[in-house]
Every structure is written in C-alpha cells, then in structure tokens.
Chains A and B, each alone.
Chain A
Amino acid sequence: MFKKLKDKMIGNSDNLSLSLVKNIKLFKEIFAGDEIVIFREFNTTHSLKCCIIYVDDMADTEIINENILAPLMNKEFVTDFKQKNMIDYYINKVLLSGNIKKTSNINNIIESILYGDTVLLVDGYAEAVIIETKGWMVRQIEKPETEKVVRGPREGFNESLIINLTLIRRRLLSSDLKFKFNQIGTRTKTKYCICYLEGLTNKKILEELEKRLDEVNIDGILDSGYIQELIKDSPLSPFKTIGSTERPDTVVGRLLEGRIAVIFDGSPFALTLPYLFVENFQVNEDYYNEFIFASINRLLRYLGFFLSISVPSIYLSLTTYHQEMIPTPLLLSISASREGVPFPTVIEAILMLAVFEILREAGVRLPTPIGQTVSIVGALVLGEAAITAKLISAPMLIVVALAGISSYLIAEMMGAIIVARGAFLILSSMLGLYGYIFAIIGLFIHLMSMRSFGVPYMLTAGSLEKQDLKDTVVRVPWFMMYLRPKLITKDKLRKTVQR
C-alpha cells in the first residue's frame, strides 16, 4: 500500500521534450500554485531560447546573475556552433560554476530546484543543466547550547548539513574519512550523511545501519531525533541506544573509536552509534582535562546516577520499613520533622518528585527572565512554605532535591532516570528494601539484555580486564590507552603502528 502511495507522490515518469515551451509548461504544471518558483526566459547572444528555473531565496541570485545570466546573454561565443551540442558547449565554456551536471530525469530536476539549485533549459534539447546555486541563509556557527565546556573546542553544529560536514572534516584530515549521502522522508526528502572511518569501522555495523535507514518509512523528519527513535534497538526502553551530540569534536572522537556518525540536514544533532551504557557517563571534557580531575568527575557522575535513582526509595524504605537501620540521632530528627505532616511518606515522595519535575519542565523553555521567577517561586515559595506549613517534612525535601540535582549530572539519561526512580519508589513503598533490591536486579537485567547495533549495551561492564576498564569508571592517562573497544571496531590498536 505504501509503495503505491510512494509512486504516486514521486511518480513523474514523463521525459523532457525537445520543445522549450512544452518543457516550461510541464514544470509550471508541476509547480502550479507555488509562486516562489521563478521561471526566467531569455535569449542568449545567439538568440537561442533558454529558461532558468530556481526557487527564490533558496538560490543565490547574485550567483545566478553573474555566473549564469551574464555569460549566457553577453558573451560573444565563437561561432560554428551548429555542429555542436550547445548544452555541452555551455557547460564546458560558458557557465561559471564548480558543480554542474546534465540530466534528463525530471525527478532529479525537481529535487535540485527545490534544494536551491538552478536548472537551465535550452530550446531544442531534451536535457537540462543543473547548476549549483544554493545560497540560503544559515545560522552562524555558535557555541553548542546543550553541551557547554570549560575546556575544549567551542564550535557546535548548526542546521546546515554541508557546514556540519566541514566541521568534521576539518578535524579529521584523513582520506579514510568517508561521507555517504542519501535522503530520507518521502515528502521532506531530508538529506543525510553517514560518516565513518574506513578501516576502523566494523563493516557489519555499517551494513546494519544502512539496512535500517532504508527500511524507515516516514513522510518527513524535522530532527535527527525521529531517526534516533525509529532505528534504535529496544525501541520501548527509556535508555538511549543511539547517541546524539551537538559537538563536532565529540563526533570525531567517536569516529576515532570506530563508531559511525549520521548527520541530518536541518538538525544540529548528529547521531553516533553503537552507543553503550558507559557513554552516558563520558563527557568530551573528560578527555581534555587531566586524567585525575576527569576521573573524579566520572566517579561523581556514576554516584549521581546511583543517588538520583536510589535516594528517594532508600529513604522511603528505611523510614517506613526498616527504622532499626537508621542511626538513633537521625531517627529522632526525622521523627521530629515528620510530626504533624498529613501525608504518608510515599505520597509525600511522589508529590515532591512530581513538583520537582514540574519545576524542571516549566523552567526549560521559558525566556531567561521568567525562568528566574520559576526558580524563585519553586525554591522559596513551594519549598520553604510547604515545610513551614507542615505539608512536607524537611528531610523529604532534601532527599528529593538531592535526587533531582544529581540527575543533572547525567542529563543524557534524564528520561530513563525519571522512569527508574518512579519504579524504584513504588516497589520500595510496597516491599521496603526487599523491593529496592528487586528493582536494582530488574534494572540490571534490562540493561544487560540490551544491544546497540549488535554490540552489548553493557559491554565491559562485567569485565575485569585492565584494558576494558581504562575508559569506564575512571579515565586513565592517554599514554596507557592504546586499545579501542574490540566489538565496535575492526582495528583495535589505537596508537599508530608502522605497517
């Protein structure tokens, strides 16, 4: 069914005719009602009728005027053109453009027009010339908003595919770096590019990726997030099995580990794969800072993961089931602050966690001045007042705040953490620490069962081999890291070896 639909949408099987008038009529029918497409008819110096078709503002009019119209209309050609194919002549001698090609495929022509190129039709020829004139406005290269660093390159991707590719290429001047273009989305026809390092990348993963991308059937994508969701393993899991980053240096770092990157036109987020659980805790800055500081930060992130999923449920199970495990002075102060609080501890915890998530979501997209109001209202009014009014106990507020703040250490996993935290909380509210242990076991079974493009998600998590652990919980100094993760890459040796 979909195939039929696809044919109908793309299905222009007509060919160009020899008559310019007919061709123009054909394109005017195709673009009927679309007034942004410009048809400019003119005569060359030799009175040959021509027409260029382009989309206003997608194509750079300056290039069109100077490099297409001016030479065609002004230049005195050498005569004796009757024996020659004028189109070849124009391509070879007249038109000033680096990227130029001849085609008779109507679909190609339509796509090129819509992508900002200019098409030249010449009377008497059933072929058209596509001249690259892409010239739309793009955002400047800016600091990436979501992945700020103190130490490290400050460039981030923008929405232009080509610019993003140059950002990668500039960092990786190897001829092994390959770019493979394709397009996706039956209507948006979004261009994308698969980047990988020949010789490092595991070919099977590459084939699998291409297979999955080919199978995608969607009318349009507006961000790489669509694809991230469509082609990932364990599609219902809250954990990411495909990474995304806004930073070219991160992409290059992952390419060097033998991973593959996919960049989509119109999205500043590149996808990288395979993506492992440990990568949630790896931040590009870890590799730029000295290794001791980086390792401390790594450990903090693991601690943050543990705290943010466990603290509310551990607090809950200790205070409602296992009071004997709380040190006496702590028990007394918790007991004192719980005095007069109307809600059971479970309800208190769920309420406060919900409030925290509300505040987070409310603050994310607001303009900065209003955002501050949210934090003041949230922190002071809700927190302070709720405690003074004895609606919430102070320890619970501390627990929730600790859990919430720790989850920001690993912002990559925010969704998974919220889900896990909720599940942990409910299980331990019903079974105490017993339930908490069950939740931990369940979490690990889930993580262990996942794969990312054939690579186990928890690769190296169960390993005690020295080489496997060098870039996990800690980051060892660079001079000690000479192997890449073996299942991902074809060539394990990281350091250059003379062959």
Chain B
Amino acid sequence: MKKNKLMLILIVVISLLITVGCWNYREIEDLAIVTGAAVDMDPKTGKYIVTVELISPSQQQKETQISTTTMTIKGRTIFGAVRNFIEVSGKKLYWSHARVIIISEEIARKNIAPVLDWVKRDAEVRTDMYILVSREKTAGEILESKVELGKIVSYQLENAFKSGESISKFPRVQLRHFINDLSANGKSAVAATVNLKPENGKKVPQIHGAAVFKGAKQVGWFNGYETRSLLWLRDKIKGGALVEEAINIEGRNVNTTLEIYEGKTNVKPVLTDEGEIIMNVDIHSDVTIAEFDGTIKPSEKDVQNKIEREIKKDIKKRIKVTITKAQAYGSDAFGFGQAIEREMPDLWKQIESNWDEIYPQIGVKINIGIHIRGSGLAGKNIEVGD
C-alpha cells in the first residue's frame, strides 16, 4: 500500500515535470540582446519604424569581442514590428537588457503615449530605461552613429545619464518617471533630448537639453541653461552639480564656476488677499568656488558676499525666463499643480478642471539662498609673474 502510494506520487511528479517543465527555456547564445531602441514613423504609411541596437558577441580564441549591429523593422504597432524581426533574423529579440529608448520628434509632437504602451505592458522590457527625444530628423540615426568600433551607443548614452548628476544640463528621466508624469494631474513630463555632434569627421550622440511635453504631446524645447532652471525647480539639483555664470563684478564680466555641495528647493503655493495664487520658490544651496577668473580674492568674506549676490541675481533671471517660456508652452513641467494639490487640496479641487487656463497666469516669487562655503584649495588667485 505504502509502496503504491509512493509510486503514484513519483508518477505525478515526473509527469508534471515533463509536461510543464522547461517552459521558457532558452539558451543564452540564442538571444538577440537589445541594448536600445529608436522609434520613428514612416510619414507615408503611418507605420512605425523600429531601429534596435543588437549585440553580437563573438569569441576569437580567448578574446571576447563585442560588436553591435543595428536593424530596422517596420510594423503597424511597436510590438508588431518587434515580432516582425523574427522574419529577418530568426531570433527573438531579448529586451531585458535594453537601457535607452529614443523617440523621434515627429512622434513626440503627435502623441507619445501609444509608443510607450507596449513598453509599459510587456514583462520583458524594463521601465527603468532612460527615455530620450531625438533632435535629429530621425531617431534611428542616433543609434546608427558608430561612436567607436566595439562601443555600444545605447550603453554610452546610459552612462551619460548615470553620471549626469554632476552636469545638470539634461533631465535624468527614466521611463517609469516619464510615464508617471505623463499620467499625473498637475505635472507635465519632460524628457532629455539627444542630437548628433560632429567630432573628428564623425558624428557622436550628445545629450543636451530637454523636450517639454503638454499631455502626451511635445510642445517645445529647453536648452541647457533652461534645463538647469527646470531642475532647480524640480528639486533635482543635488551635490556635485555645477553652476557657471559670467557675473558682473569689478566692472566687467568674470567667469565663475560654483560646485554645489547641497541643494534643496521648496515650492510652496500662497494664496494672496486678492485670491491670486503665487508660487513661493525657495532655493537653498551650499556651494564652493571651483573656478574664478577675476583678480580679487574670493577667499575674503566681502568678496564672497558680492559673488553670492551676483550669482543669485543671475540664477533668478534664468529661472524667471524658463518659467515664462514654460508658461507660454502651457506645460507645467515644474509640477506647480502637484505642489498646490499637496499644500492646499481643497483649493486644488476647485481649480483642477481649469488649471490649463490658470497656470500661464500664475505668479512666481523666487527666493534664492546661495551660501559660499569655501574657495576650494586655493586661498588666492594665480598671480602671473614676468
């Protein structure tokens, strides 16, 4: 009896393993590993053109060589195009290691949401990919620009994002944040932009600036300075970032670079007596002087105060310009709406439906506290002798 029972269990286990086992078994070398993808639209047919960068690893004797190829496939939907790839290469694309997705300006201006739907839905694609909008004619040509033999364009772009903290000229937006912002009320999405920069006769991709969205449509661009103002307002400027300005001291413009130790931005809406909403922006930052082109000594307290004053003025000016531009676009990229919802939920309920009309008229009060903590290792400037 006991033996029969054991046999029965054994048969059940074995048949279970044989029938349902090995599901999704794939050998690693049969994968076509995607590192990044670019999405364009064929203007004539309206079909999507998906360009993928693939890794084709090979091993000669003991050296491992990793080279990349790009392939272009068309399809009515993104996933359709991705599956059509099998017709060409016989392999299924493997998306778990894709790190960037580049969207063409054309699609971004039209409607970006359908492109992202598959990306969000599919289990294999990761939503911590970085999203970029191409400033070139097509998005595909970014991936096709060969940086160097053996270099992977997508991973180079990813690395730029990873170390982007200390440059603050483009927003480091991952797909999940982008999708969150896209679906949020009271906050518009932004994405970094990429263009090709001529270098030694070749064209290399460069991430610079931001694309500003209103809803699912791109409405405009921000350049590098504007992007930095955007990041100030989004509280994304942290330690390591740089501020470079030409400030007016000693009666001329002196180039000054400040490195930020700590940055903190508070956005608080205030309701005035007249019933107007004013955004109170408090920027506080501890900095150190990284570069100073003047003749006066920045290690002295009064000189530092002077620099602080001038820098504040400059940053304030730039932020004002940026806000005006965004208000003209009608894009609440700074999340002012969310700030109101957070601080004054009752008010937000009243104005939520016509926030689009209120937002461009909203007043902003900027209060900047820059505090210079030191002048680097040098006490005085380089004195040029004879």
Contacts and interface: CB of A to CB of B under 8 A. Distances in A.
Contacts of A324: 96-97, 124, 126
A320 to B, nearest CB: 5
Interface string B85-118: 0000000001011010000000000000000000
Contact of B29 (A335, A427, A430): A335
B64 A337 contact: yes
Nearest to A387: B62
Contacts of A332: 33, 55, 57, 64, 66
A339 B66 CA distance: 12
Interface residues of B, number: 26
Interface in A334-348: 334-341, 344-345
A323 interface: yes
A431 interface: yes
Interface string B39-74: 000000000000000010111010011100000000
A472 interface: no
Interface in B1-28: 17, 21-22, 24-28
A345 B28 contact: yes
Which residue of A334, A388, A431 has the most chain B CB atoms within 10 A of its CB atom? A431
A338 B66 contact: no
B27 A345 contact: yes
A328 B55 CA distance: 11
Nearest to B21: A430
B97 A328 contact: yes
B31 interface: yes
Contacts of B22: 429-430
B97 A338 contact: no
Interface in B113-157: 124, 126, 155
A67 interface: no
B33 A320 contact: no
B97 A339 contact: no
Contacts of B24: 321, 432
Contacts of B21: 430-431, 435
Contacts of B58: 336, 339
Contacts of A432: 24-25
Contacts of A388: 61
A390 to B, nearest CB: 9
A344 to B, nearest CB: 6
B57 A339 contact: yes
A429 B97 CA distance: 23
Contacts of A337: 59, 64
Given A320-B28, A323-B28, A335-B57, A430 B97 contact: no
A333 interface: yes
Contacts of B97: 323-324, 328, 331
Contact of A320 (B27, B55, B61): B27
Interface string A405-440: 000000000000000000000010111100100000
A339 B29 contact: yes
A338 B58 CA distance: 9
Contact of B64 (A336, A340, A344): A336
B56 to A, nearest CB: 9
A319 interface: yes
A319 B31 CA distance: 11
A341 B29 contact: yes
A335 B67 CA distance: 12
Contacts of A344: 27
A435 B59 CA distance: 31
Nearest to B61: A388
B377 to A, nearest CB: 36
27 contacts: A319-B28, A320-B25, A320-B27, A320-B28, A321-B26, A323-B26, A323-B96, A323-B97, A324-B96, A324-B126, A332-B64, A333-B64, A334-B28, A335-B28, A335-B33, A335-B57, A336-B59, A336-B66, A337-B59, A339-B57, A339-B58, A339-B59, A341-B29, A344-B27, A388-B61, A430-B17, A431-B17
Interface of B: 17, 21-22, 24-29, 31, 33, 55, 57-59, 61, 64-66, 94, 96-97, 99, 124, 126, 155
Given A337-B64, A432-B25, 11 more contacts: A320-B26, A323-B96, A328-B97, A328-B155, A331-B28, A333-B57, A335-B31, A335-B33, A339-B58, A345-B27, A430-B17
